[in-house]
Amino acid sequence: MSSIGITAPAGFSAAALTAGIKPSGNPDMALVVNEGPEFHAAAVFTRNRVVASPVKLSRVAIADGQIKAVLYNSGNANACNGVQGDQDAAELQQQVADLLGIAPTDVGVCSTGLIGEVLPMGKMRAGVDNLSTSLGDNGEAAAEAIMTTDLVKKETVVNAEGWTLGGMGKGVGMMSPSLATMLVCLTTDASATPAMLDEAVRAASHVTFDTLDIDGSTSTNDTVFLLASGASGITPTQDELNAAVLQASEDIARQMQADAEGVTKRVTVTVEGTSTDEQAVNAARTLARDNLFKCAMFGSDPNWGRVLAAVGMAEADMDPDHISVYFNGEAVCVNTTGTPGARDVDLSGADIEVLVNLGIDGPGRATVRTTDLSHDYVEINSAYSS
């Protein structure tokens, strides 16, 4: 077993290859197989109402809490391809099932890439054939094969008491507001019921992938799978499982933020001084999505007025005359008024911490991670499909 990634836990194998979906010739297909003895699973999906064909299939497959294999491809999202897209996804699911001798409803399917292009099925059928005969300790190769505009692969591992949780993820743009635009696969050799897994993956996603907001956009394909083989023979408590899934999700979310499209600054926005955590998330998200604020961060410009203008529009309880703003721990605005020296705060580093207190005596508090808005973001995203 590898020391990191999806094949770190006992009971999992993987394969990856270049099927030729991507014009770049980089790896673009992967297969993850749970070899048991248990096959429990949970998943969370995009909240977008326009969903890709693989998401429709995977939602049905996960309904009974059992998944034995997940097929991944990058370079094509298989979204908005109508009946053809649904048929293609189902055919690949059936092919994996046949080759592994399992039921198609035990196969998850995940795609990522350009929306609105029909899958190159000839290449992919051949790919699935080859994947099924090259399964092994290939978590790292799988993590590479799901990359799109990612510059680096994202893997993680959590070593618990007698059991292990591994993971891989991809995602660098179209991140928000439900899940980031991303595919994540978490694997564990712990023994856990589908209900335990479901609680763990939802709780972790809520405070990690759900609050990673790079550009306010939400994809049609977002999927997080958590697969459990039980191969360690250890049954953790719900709290232990939650903690491990949270740690792994935080690690992958941090890697996604650091690799976000065109990022030059990693910006952490924390909002407090409002009535509820949900209101704090609203305000933090409103700021994290504000293009004028994001451009100021790109310019290392402590233009705190843009913070006030942004949070003033948020759906959150606030006292408009008693808002405070801190950049990297330094107060730049107190009681909605600038402090002496506020324009001189040094934001030249790659990490910027923004704390906003909305001036209400309430327990609401939340953190959202985002990035700056840079020339490279515009460059990457103005020429993605062409």
Interacting residues toward a copy of itself by CB under 8 A = 47-51, 77, 79-82, 84-85, 114-117, 173-174, 177, 215-220, 289-292, 295-296, 298-299, 301, 303-306, 308-313, 318, 320, 323, 333, 335-338, 342-343, 373-375, 377-386
List the structure tokens of 279. Answer: 């209101």
Q: What value does the CA radius of gyration of the chain take, rounded to a whole number of Å?
A: 22
CB–CB of 229/9 below 8 Å?
yes
The residue (of 172 and 224) whose beta carbon lies closer to a copy of itself is 172
The residue (of 82 and 122) whose beta carbon lies closer to a copy of itself is 82
Please, what is the minimum distance in Å from the beta carbon of residue 338 to a copy of itself? 4
The residue (of 111 and 242) whose beta carbon lies closer to a copy of itself is 111
Please, what is the minimum distance in Å from the beta carbon of residue 139 to a copy of itself? 29
SS3 131: helix
Q: Is 272 exposed, middle or buried (0-12, 13-18, 19+ CB in 10 A)?
A: buried
SS3 55: helix
Find out whether 2 is annotated in a ligand binding site: no
Residue that is written with structure tokens 């029909």 in the block: 118
Exactly one of 164, 181, 188, 370 is catalytic; name it. Answer: 181
Please, what is the minimum distance in Å from the beta carbon of residue 85 to a copy of itself? 8
Parallel, antiparallel, or unpaired: how do β-strands 69-74 and 107-112 relate?
Answer: parallel
**d(C-alpha 9, C-alpha 343), whole Å:** 50
List the structure tokens of 328. Answer: 């990297």
SS3 276: coil
Per DSSP, 209 falls in state G
Nearest to 43 by CA among 24, 25, 65, 28: 65
**d(C-alpha 249, C-alpha 215), whole Å:** 20
The residue (of 39 and 293) whose beta carbon lies closer to a copy of itself is 293
Find out whether 181 is annotated in a ligand binding site: yes
Q: Is 253 exposed, middle or buried (0-12, 13-18, 19+ CB in 10 A)?
A: buried
Q: E strand or H helix at 238, and its extent?
A: helix 238-258
Q: What is the DSSP string of 257-320?
A: HHT-TT-S-EEEEEEEEES-HHHHHHHHHHHHT-HHHHHHHHTT---THHHHHHHTTSSS---T
Please, what is the minimum distance in Å from the beta carbon of residue 148 to a copy of itself? 13
The residue (of 24 and 382) whose beta carbon lies closer to a copy of itself is 382
Compute the CA torsion angle 292, 293, 295, 297 (nearest 10 deg): 170
Find out whether 170 is annotated in a ligand binding site: yes
Helices 238-258, 194-207: inter-axial angle, 10-degree rounding:
40
The residue (of 195 and 292) whose beta carbon lies closer to a copy of itself is 292
The residue (of 47 and 151) whose beta carbon lies closer to a copy of itself is 47
Please, what is the minimum distance in Å from the beta carbon of residue 286 to a copy of itself? 9
Residue that is written with structure tokens 């949780």 in the block: 165
Told to judge if 193 belongs to the known catalytic residues of this protein, a careful annotator would answer no
**d(C-alpha 323, C-alpha 310), whole Å:** 12
Annotated binding site for substrate: 148, 170, 181, 261, 381, 386
**Would you please indicate which residues are annotated as catalytic (active-site) residues?**
181
